Structure 1
Amino acid sequence: MYYRRPRHSRHLADIVAVWLVAVLCASRVLASPREWQPLILKGSQLPVLSGIDIGHLEVLAIHGGRAEPIPFQVDEVSHDGSYALPEGPAGMPGNPRPTLAPDDEIALIVSDLGEKGTATAQLPSQALEIEVADPLGGPLRYAYVGVAGAPRLSDRRYVAYDPRTDTVETDHYRVGLTNGLPTEFVTQNGVGEHRPNLIDRMKVRLTTLVIGLIHFSFTEDDIHSQLLAWKVGPIRMVRRLSHSVNLLLGLRSPVFERNDFFYRDHLENPFKMHFSWAPRIFFRDIRVRIDLDFNDLSGYELLWSQMSMPPLKIGNQEMEQRLAAMGSVPISWIAIRGAGRTTVQTLAPTPDLPLLNRQLYFNDAPNRPDPPEHIRGEHPGIGYVITGWEKLEGGVHTFVSLLITTRADYSPGVLMEELLSPPVVTVRARAETR
């Protein structure tokens, strides 16, 4: 029998349907705040500014109908990808009057961008419009790059560096480095909060079998690093380091270099590995453990990708035992949440990454030694056990480690979507937009 719903029921259903659509659309828009994410433009994307004196550039955004300068920096980059880093023992000053070149990089923060410019008088007549579209939804964002004799510049600086203590600090974290590796890490909500250090050190432990006979291992203490040069700007700090590793029989690996990037909300550590031959020819059972050895994360929560249980409350023995009973846990990211922040660690997608297997490493054993370390035990140790290195061929392989800190209610899942779906940038002259 056909049943005709009363009119008020149909109206209720219509209201519910509209509400659901609104919620879904809103959640899609709000799902991608990208508060942590930088925007890097190459000079080649702004060809009409090629050869312009960098000191005459200004970047503006419209907020509430008013044009205002936003922080930006231009980093000189050579054709081979090397950054001009003026500070440090191997610092090389760039051009005393640098001009914008195709390989140079202009760094911004996505969340600083604003509305589409309609107030012509507030923007330079020849300004370029930077339009940023989000594949995950949400409104378009805009910035305007202009040239002026006396450019309007923001006085905001997101990154500070103290070379005496080798410490990088922003409103949202503080990192102290020793031998190129973190020995201090703090999340915070403002510079100078003086929160206690959360970690003892970053641990890097490798074990393998050489030619099927000799057991070989090294730790982070076998890595030799030297800070060569750096540059600190309003948006990021770029550091160049050299590395070598102690090998068998007193031998040391060739020296290689890498650049690290420190932004307001995240650390980016690209590193390249060069193998003259495929590792499997001489090595078997290669196992690399990389973790942060925390001093005391009681009260924090642990999260990871494809988690099949509620967030693990660190220090809760029942939950930690449940995790231990799960055995190997494949993951693509891990996160801790506490003290008003959520901090996510992951590896950015690269062609070689799918060849490796990443398992969750979690060890809450403050009374069990895990040398070398300064403070006995781990409370807890959180990171990865990485295997599958034998699948790599000879040649150069690139990996990019990311540590991102956001406000506590920022979803790690949303953050990973943002990482995997970068914004789409269009650059045009303002005359083309009218």
Structure 2
Amino acid sequence: MTGRQGWIGVIALLLSVTSPLKAREIWTDGVPDAYFKHFVEFYKADPSAMGRWATGLTRISTEQLDYTLKALDTTQFTYLYPMEIKGYDLPRHNGIPTEELSLMAVRAGKLIPVPYQIDEFDKTGLIWIEGENDSKAEGDPRIFDDFDELVFMFRDGGWDRFDPAQHTLAEGQMLEEIRLDSPRNKPRYLYLVRNNSERSRADYVQVDLDEGWIQTTLMRMEFEPKDFTQIQSMAPRLGPHKDENVFDNIYVNISTGILNQNLRVDLDTRKNIKATPLAVKDGAVRASMLVKARVWYAYLPTFFSQKFQVDFYEQSVTIPSRFAIGSMKVLKFFLMFLREPRIHFAIDFQNLDGARLTFDSVYDNKQYGIVDGTMSDFETRMNATRLPGDWLHLDSNQGWEMFFSNHMPVVPNGLFDAFLDGVTMNMFYEDDANSTTKYEHDPGATPRLGFQSEGIPDTVIDLMGAIPKLDFQNMDSLGEAIVALAAAEQDGAFEKYDEVVNKKLAELKADGRIGTVDALADAFIADLDRMNFSGIPRDTFNQIVHQAIVDTTPAVDQIHHGKVLARMITLASDQGIDIRRLRYATMDNTLWFPAWVGEGGASDFQWQVSHAPTATPLGPVAVPASKPAHPPEAAPAATAPAATSPSGSSATAP
């Protein structure tokens, strides 16, 4: 052990003794200083460095990792944060062929290409992959338009702004300057350019559906190619625990009556619930996998199937659960058949001895459960907690962590939660090396984590039956549904629906939980704000909804939904917004995989999640006329700088 490694070990011991918040495994090996310094300078100049030097960094130390993030002026969160800009936020550039667009930044004094991608979606919000979607594309897949997404990483922006006197755009046209702002980092700048043939060599995530694997710069996951629920392994690619699998199994069981509670069936991911990967849009920044979930029974496919997508980034995974017009039909159809369902969901981990786990609802004293094979009093409390709150945190004790951001629109003890009467639910946590199940590959709960529920929300069932009967099948967006539903108010279409809701609101008023109309609107927005609505900016939409409730509701238990919707249309129109632009909503539940949540602990990481970086288009940049772009076949090949390997030999990045 070198002197430096010894000091790191002492520091790690002191941190673990004096501050449980900061406990983390310290990687002490490190790569040679000369190699590391060369890497950092290259990384500051070119975002592709990490991927191209990854094999030489497998023994990187914690000290070196932290130094890298400081050198890039990022926090643990902003380093891994991906960003998107919708086409409607760049209206002047709508109509341009997507293949003509790219992103650049000034890094180390040079204007260079940075990783990006432009994704198309269908009208329900699913990633558009030719030949795989049930709905039409939102626009022309070849053209940059309203609901396309321009995707990039916050960290890849440059600190310096483009200056024609200092920087050169070798070819093409500079269209737009974009500023990236973060509460804890200096502003960064990106440039949208047209007809420039340069492209970054960075590729943060790769997927092979035929072989069943997903790999990023920092992790690798393997799964059964025909069923994504059968994840076989997940392992880091850096550090002393490189290639050590921490994943055992994911398990879902639904036990339910069909039409009556006595005729029961058991459905689970071993036999009945399959999630088949159909296709993937694999870009430089994210890979969006289109998956078809289907329930099988007696070895035959049933009527119930649903497509969804999973977005993989370098250090995060997002499942953007959609709420579109078709969602109401699917939910109503599904609930119509179920009687007294019991749901059990669990993720079984392994090789996580010494890991720490907690979640928002039980974090009042900043306590953690420790994976040690026995259930402590705190872990028993975790197991009995109804909802996790806004987040869940797992510190692997191996130099990487997992942080779950919960975007289900149910705030504990909030408005929507009150409508879940008839359902019992609780978190599920087990830390017992001797506990075995039929579905695991390796015996023992080390740990096992998930949730379980029983019953169906009676009020929600009543509401589903009271939804005004309109032809939603021919509506492409939530906005169109709002217009149609507002018009239906004149025919008394909401009478039964209002009655069901107001009965529940009267109970909440009597219990003292909601005393004023303003409080009612606030409670509604608190739940709604966990969702991401496409087509109208979040703050604008929230303000419209809040004001519409206040303007049309005389008392807490006298809400008239048709009037609220009609008022929303008027308020939007007053701001020059066509409410029909509201396409769909997503619940962007995300698993982040930071090296560490940082000195502020899990609650501070959540603060950063909720105060994420923003992108602001600043307009065009005047630059001298450049050379015409090379035809694609004549584009000059990018030359990779030589990288020195840890052994000291010269190695060209792949």
Q: What residue number does 1:339 align with? A: 398
Aligned pairs (5 A) from 1:191-270: 195-208=243-256, 211-221=260-270, 222-246=272-296, 252-270=302-320
1:314 to 351, 361, 371: 371
Aligned to 2:148: 104
Structure 1 residues 31-430: aligned runs within 5 Å: 33-85=77-129, 98-121=142-165, 122=167, 124=169, 126-134=174-182, 136-148=183-195, 150-178=196-224, 179-190=227-238, 195-208=243-256, 211-221=260-270, 222-246=272-296, 252-272=302-322, 274-276=330-332, 279=335, 283-284=339-340, 286-305=341-360, 306-307=362-363, 308=365, 310-315=367-372, 317=374, 320-324=376-380, 328-329=384-385, 330-332=387-389, 333-337=391-395, 338-350=397-409, 354-355=416-417, 359-386=426-453, 390=457, 392=460, 393-394=463-464, 399-410=587-598, 411-430=601-620
Q: Does the CA-based 8 Å contact 2:382-2:427 persist in structure 1?
A: no
Q: CA deviation at 1:35?
A: 2.0
C-alpha distance in 2, partners of 1:105/1:164? 27
Q: What is the CA distance between 1:85 and its match in structure 2? A: 2.5
Does structure 2 retain, via aligned residues, the 8 Å contact 1:344–1:404?
Answer: yes
Q: Which amino acid aligns with 2:147?
A: D
CA positional deviation for 1:341: 0.7
Q: CA deviation at 1:397?
A: 9.3
2:5 counterpart residue number? none
- Listed one character per residue, the Cα deviations across residues 267-294 of structure 1 (whole Å, up to 9, x for unaligned) are 112335622269499533x443322111
Determine which structure has the larger strand proportion and give its number.
1
Query: Cα offset for 1:254?
Result: 1.9
* Separation (CA, whole Å) in 2 of partners of 1:389 and 1:404: 31
Q: Structure 1 or 2: larger helix share? A: 2
Is the contact between residue 241 and residue 257 of structure 1 (CA under 8 Å) also seen in structure 2? yes
State the TM-score, normalized to the length of structure 2: 0.54
Deviation at 1:415, TM superposition (A): 3.2
1:201 CA drift (Å) = 1.0
Q: Give the superposition deviation at 1:223.
A: 0.5
The verdict on how the C-alpha distance between 1:252 and 1:427 changes in structure 2, with shifts beyond 3 A counting, is same
- Distance across 2 between alignment mates of 1:241 and 1:113: 32
Structure 1 vs Structure 2: percent identity of aligned residues?
Answer: 17
Structure-2 change in CA distance of 1:251 and 1:35 (3 Å): same
Distance 1:56 1:97 in 2: 13
Change (3 A) 1:113 1:30: closer
CA distance in 2 between partners of 1:266 and 1:64 (Å): 28
Contact 1:126 1:429 in 2 (8 A): no
Give the direction of change, closer, same or farther, for the CA distance of 1:73–1:251 in structure 2 (3 Å limit): closer
TM-score normalised per structure 1: 0.78
Deviates more, 1:57-66 or 1:160-169: 57-66
C-alpha deviation, 1:245, in angstroms: 1.6
Structure 2 Cα separation of the partners of residues 351 and 304 of structure 1: 16
Q: Which amino acid aligns with 1:414?
A: D
Q: Distance in 2 between matches of 1:98 and 1:203?
A: 39
1:324-383, CA deviations, whole angstroms, 9 ceiling, x for partnerless residues?
256512412222212111111243254799537864321123333322233334221022
Question: Alpha-carbon deviation of 1:252?
Answer: 2.3
Alpha-carbon distance change, 415 to 381 in structure 1, aligned in 2, over 3 angstroms: same
1:220 and 1:89, CA in 2 relative to 1: closer, same or farther beyond 3 A? same
Alpha-carbon distance in 2 for matches of 1:409, 1:400: 20
SS at match of 2:302: coil
SS, match of residue 323 in structure 1: helix
Letter in 2 for 1:265: Q
- CA distance, structure 2, for counterparts of residue 154 and residue 339 of structure 1: 32
CA distance in 2, matches of 1:87, 1:197: 35
Aligned-residue offset at 1:131: 1.7
Q: Is the 8 A contact 1:314 1:320 kept in 2?
A: no
The answer (yes or no) to whether the contact 1:130–1:428 under 8 Å persists in 2 is: yes
The CA deviation at 1:115 is 1.9
Q: For residues 99 and 119 of structure 2, what CA distance do their matches in structure 1 show?
A: 12
State the Cα deviation string for residues 227-283 of structure 1 (Å, max 9, x = none).
Answer: 211121110111111111246997824221111111111111233562226949953
Alignment partner, residue 561 of structure 2: none
Q: Deviations over 1:137-180 (max 9, x none)?
A: 543232111113x4321111100122333110112222222312
Q: 1:383 to 1:111 in 2, by over 3 A?
A: farther
Pairwise CA distance, 1:30? 7.4
- For 2:74 and 2:211, locate their aligned partners in 1 and report how far apart those are by CA, in whole Å: 39
Task: Give the whole-Å Cα distance in 1 for the aligned partners of 2:453 and 2:311.
Answer: 23
| Residue aligning to 1:24 | none
Partner Cα distance (1:290, 1:58) in 2: 42
Cα 1:102–1:269, aligned 2, differ >3 Å: closer, same or farther? Answer: same
For residues 93 and 350 of structure 1, do their structure 2 counterparts lie closer, same or farther at Cα, with a shift above 3 Å needed? Answer: closer
Question: Which has the larger displacement, 162-171 or 228-237?
Answer: 162-171
The CA RMSD over aligned residues, in Å, is 3.9
Distance 1:170 1:113, change over 3 A: same
Structure 1 stretch displaced more, 323-332 or 37-46: 323-332
Q: Contact conserved, 1:184 with 1:199, CA < 8 A, in 2?
A: yes
Quote the Cα distance in structure 2 between the aligned partners of 1:379 and 1:279: 34
Counterparts of 1:82 and 1:360, CA distance in 2 = 29
Counterpart-to-counterpart distance in 2, 1:89 and 1:173: 29
- The one-letter amino acid paired with 2:442 is I
CA offset digits 1:297-322 (Å, max 9, x no partner):
112221321423533221163x6344
Q: Hey, what's the Cα distance between the residues in 1 that align with 2:588 and 2:602?
A: 18
On the 8 A contact 2:102/2:192 being kept in 1, the answer is yes
| SS of residue matched to 1:55 | helix
Contact 1:61 1:70 in 2 (8 A): yes
Q: Secondary structure at the match of 1:205?
A: strand
State the alpha-carbon separation in 1 of the partners of residues 74 and 178 from structure 2: 22
1:349 to 1:368, Cα distance in 2 relative to 1, 3 A = closer
Cα distance between partner residues in 2 of 1:322 and 1:78: 45
In structure 2, the residue matched to 1:7 is: none
